[in-house]
Chains A and B, each alone.
Chain A
């Protein structure tokens, strides 16, 4: 006993909160289904109760053994355990890496794929610690052209164009060029 750590408490809290929120939400769709006895809530509620039960099992295991791995576990990825933060800067770097793609996803609807992508590629490479600007710009150009060639020209995939000017206009211009290119053949 006494091996419980702060991350373990956070973990247990996380599962209990998830189970609680979802269980409460089941009351919003708790309607009977005439042809099915267990209704729309039966299956999810069983899953939520199991989550609660297993979360307590997990907590009990952590109390007994801390964060040690169980014997004979197979396929356990343990490479992430090597990571230990030694400075606030390292936290910032990881936070930056996690937030950039999310901002990119948010920007897709207003700005569109064609304008947001080069900026995103530059930011990701920068976040990864790359500081050689010629390398960053060259690689960005290479990846961008490759993606446009593959998905726009070869596969004709519909990609988001954005809905704010001037980004939308740039997307429209690129698509017009593509149509003219198609007409050549």
Chain B
């Protein structure tokens, strides 16, 4: 492994053009992740056609680097503006934004930098040392029933966080699932809920919906506060967390690495569910649950460690099985295909150089999060000084471009603003925007795997639940739901309206 890693490093840093691509990916991923309104997906969508001119290793490496640094970059906007750069940063905003409001933005961003780097580097090391055995394990033990069970568990966790009540948490997730059914059904390709619009046959695109729910609705919320004279600019602080503060959360970091890596390794799941599960587990094991969501450092640490831990793991099903774990890894498949390559087991034998350049690049990209992240953090915090009346049109414009570019349809810009308006009203009523987004992302994956699983076991639930991993995950999901339901009938804590 070490020889291969060194060879990958030599190839990566031996060619100035490859180094330039690496640096571009690192800086571009961080910037597009950290600018409110656009995300690493916007950058990836724009760059996709240009990768045809690069070598396969350079193209895949560029996207892998953007994936690592963009996942971290999205935490910045989640913490500073309550606008997650990507869905995987949504749980970071639960505690990150309240910390900013309390004047602790520096601590939150500092923790995000460090934990993203720790999660990412650990994940890259495990990926390098165990891709083949882990891929074999995944092939043997993970099938559609397990993936559906994990989706079910993840949605149960998501409904228990965010939203003013458990009912609103569930309604948020169910709305996301309903939106995900728009377009063709995953088994028979029958058009559903297109209401006569041919453009809806392909379904609601993730990028515009996510931008609308996260970025546009937040701009509207702040605008409303301005309109009624309740707007307060966030407080600026550049105090980093101390070593003692971070060391106190070592168990949370370790737990999130395990949770993040496990979620990442499963085909189709990716970093978003990892972040929710990491956050959910932090809440579950905490002695003081009531502090979560009000600006607890552990919330930021758990979510950011888990999502970056999933980045390395997500490469395992992609490279070993050819199954992408999210939107960005799906674009990586497109890069492979542009160069007449198919990701899958053969790529390890046919293109080992490519694999180890990508592995080495991901390792160094995660390390660079630590160094560049710490250097840029103090500068980025000054974004809070920019007046929101200047930032608002900027965010809306960038979001419009981001929504349009992914498919080149003005309808997507409309969808984004519609999602923004719906998100605005739902937020006002205490619904969970991250819950909607997770439902939207996992809905199709869940349905597809449920259908495949049912066909696999010939609709026999006994066979379905004879699979241990599937059974454990379903029981965990049911227990999570039961606990939430029990909470729904306990006395209320605080008045919010």
Q: Does A81 contact B (CB under 8 A)?
A: yes
* A26–B193 CA distance with the chains assembled, in angstroms: 7
**Minimal Cβ-Cβ distance residue in B for A80:** B428
B396 to chain A, nearest CB (A): 6
Determine the chain A residues whose CB is within 8 A of the CB of B178 once the complex forms.
18, 22, 44, 47-48, 51
Q: Please classify the interface of chain A as helix (H, G, I), strand (E, B), loop, or mixed, using the class held by over half of its residues.
A: helix
Q: Quick one: which of A29, A61, A140 contacts B190, CB cutoff 8 A?
A: A29
Determine if B94 is an interface residue (Cβ-Cβ < 8 Å).
yes
CB-contact partner of A36 in B188, B221, B400, B491, under 8 A: B188
Q: Which of B349-404 contact A (CB under 8 A)?
A: 388-390, 392-394, 396-398, 400-401, 404
Minimum Cβ distance to chain A for residue B90 (Å): 9
Closest to A108 in B: B410
**Nearest residue in A to B195 (C-beta to C-beta)?**
A25
Instruction: Check B434 against A75 for contact (C-beta < 8 Å).
Output: yes
* A74-B190 contact given A43-B447, A44-B181, A83-B224, CB 8 Å threshold: no
B170 near A: Cβ within 8 Å?
yes
A22 touches B193 (CB 8 A): yes
Residue of A nearest to B185 (CB): A40
Q: Which A residues lie within 8 Å of B398 (CB)?
A: 147
Contact-size category for B: 35 or more
Report if B327 contacts A (CB, 8 A).
Answer: no
Contact B454 A69 (CB under 8 A): no
Within 8 Å CB of A147, what residues of B? 397-398, 401
Task: From known contacts A72-B290, A121-B393, A147-B401, infer whether A37 and B190 are also in contact, taking CB-CB under 8 Å.
Answer: no
Is B430 in contact with chain A by the CB < 8 A criterion?
A: yes
Tell me whether A82 and B164 are in contact (CB under 8 A): no
Task: Answer yes or no: B13 CB below 8 A from chain A CBs.
Answer: no
Most buried by B among A35, A48, A75: A75
Q: Which residues of B contact A94 (CB under 8 A)?
A: 223-224, 227-228
User: Given the complex, which residues of B lie within 8 Å of A66, measured CB to CB?
Assistant: 497
Say yes or no: is A168 at the interface (Cβ < 8 Å to chain B): no
4 tightest A-B CB contacts, nearest first: A75-B94, A33-B188, A93-B227, A58-B167
| Chain A residues within CB distance 8 Å of chain B | 7, 11, 15, 18, 22, 25-26, 29, 31, 33, 35-41, 43-44, 47-48, 50-51, 54-55, 57-58, 61, 65-86, 90, 93-94, 97-98, 101-102, 104-106, 108-109, 113, 117, 120-121, 124-125, 127-130, 139-140, 143, 147, 151, 155-160
Give chain B's interface residues, CB within 8 Å of chain A. 46-47, 82, 91, 94-95, 101, 160-171, 174-175, 177-178, 181, 185, 187-188, 190-193, 195, 216, 220-221, 223-230, 279, 283, 289-290, 292-293, 299, 388-390, 392-394, 396-398, 400-401, 404-405, 408, 410, 413-414, 416-418, 420-421, 424, 427-430, 432-434, 447, 450-451, 454-455, 459, 487-488, 490-497
